[in-house]
Amino acid sequence: MAIEEQEDKRISVFDRIIGFMPKFYVIGTILIFVYTLVAMGDLAFESWKNPEEAAIPVHPENPPASAGFQHTLITLIIEPIVTSEFYQIIFNTLFLYLVWILLFLLAPIAFYRLKHFKFFNIEIEIEKQDAAVYEVFSVSSSKMKFAAHLTSEEYQLEISGVIAESKEFKAPLMYTLDSAVDFYSDQLDLNFTYEIYTLNQFKKAKLPKSIKAMLDKSIQTGDPCISNKSNSDSEYYKNFLLHYFENIDGKFVTVLNSYQTEFDTFDKSLIKILHNVVYDYYLQYQYIYDATDSKDK
């Protein structure tokens, strides 16, 4: 049964490429050495044809002192080697072969699960790619599930009660952001805090200049902006996510920050969806409230 399953198994294009790589390496190696033999043969033919031109120039034994000539290691050993066509062919061959070897040492990194890779004194540590990809996919999926929760009837009833009690946009927004903070902490083991500013408050707030500079971009694009610190291990700087929004209640800026959590594209989408959904519910309740109030009058 197992033999039949193996026979029925199709070989993918990816597997064919992996299987062909050793052959490709051997073909390239052969071509490099063929180039060397051809170049040396051509050099030997030229030397035989024109023996006078192929002669290696000899430095004079007693060069004039005015020329400032000195018998140094470079002029006596290095210079003849560098100017020699024979040695140039050797150096070109070694360089091409070194590049070819390095290419096929690095190529498997993209295809196989490696933990350590060392080339001369350069050591590269490679994490488990499958686990990393799965973790990213799992976290991103969870964030989108929370976004889907915002459109559920259960959440709509919750937020309607908050809107009814406060009758302002900031209250349901804070309620939803608090839910996001709890979700990130409980489900994803990620932590962040947030602050909601009016536009004037944001301009006066004590925030890094780089974060305040993101406001113009968020206003122009209508999308959140991210600024993650370059050194993720640093405990003195924060990661920021900024989103500008404008509605009937005014102009506001939401700023998320965290020392450990790095914000990504999914966070940007989630925050934008969160603001839009909350505002839609807010407008719906305001419409219902105004219609009910006018009817009672």
Tens of pLDDT, residue by residue over 185-233, are: 998 889 999 999 999 999 999 888 889 999 999 999 999 999 998 876 6
Question: Is it the case that residue 154 has pLDDT exceeding 70?
Answer: yes
Which residue type is seen at 82? V
Pairwise CA distance, residues 262 & 205, whole Å: 22
Question: Is it the case that residue 289 has pLDDT exceeding 70?
Answer: no
What average pLDDT does the segment 145-150 reach?
Answer: 87
Angle formed by the axes of helices 265-296 and 129-149, nearest 10°:
10
Question: Is it the case that residue 44 has pLDDT exceeding 90?
Answer: no
Q: How many Cα atoms sit within 13 Å of 130 on the Cβ side?
A: 5
Percent of the chain with pLDDT over 90: 28
Convert 47-83 into a string of H (helix), E (strand) and C (coil). Answer: HHHCHHHHCCCCCCCCCCHHHCCCCCHHHHHHHHHHH
* Global confidence as pTM: 0.55
Helix (H, G, I), strand (E, B) or coil at 129: helix
State the chain's mean pLDDT as an integer. 76
pLDDT band at 142 (very low <50, low <70, confident <90, very high): confident
Amino acid 140: pLDDT? 73
Length of the chain: 297
- Residues whose CB is less than 8 angstroms from the CB of residue 157 and which lie 6 or more positions away in sequence, other chains included: none
Amino acid 68: pLDDT? 46
Question: Is it the case that residue 123 has pLDDT exceeding 60?
Answer: no
Distances (CA, A) of 28 to 20, 33, 157: 12, 9, 68
Q: What is the pLDDT of residues 168-183, one digit of tens each?
A: 889 999 999 999 999 9
What average pLDDT does the segment 237-266 reach?
Answer: 92
Q: What is the pLDDT of residues 45-104, one digit of tens each?
A: 777 777 655 544 444 455 554 444 455 555 555 566 556 677 777 777 887 777 777 776
Question: Is it the case that residue 245 has pLDDT exceeding 90?
Answer: yes
Indicate the burial class of 192 (C-beta count within 10 angstroms; 0-12, 13-18, 19 or more).
Answer: buried
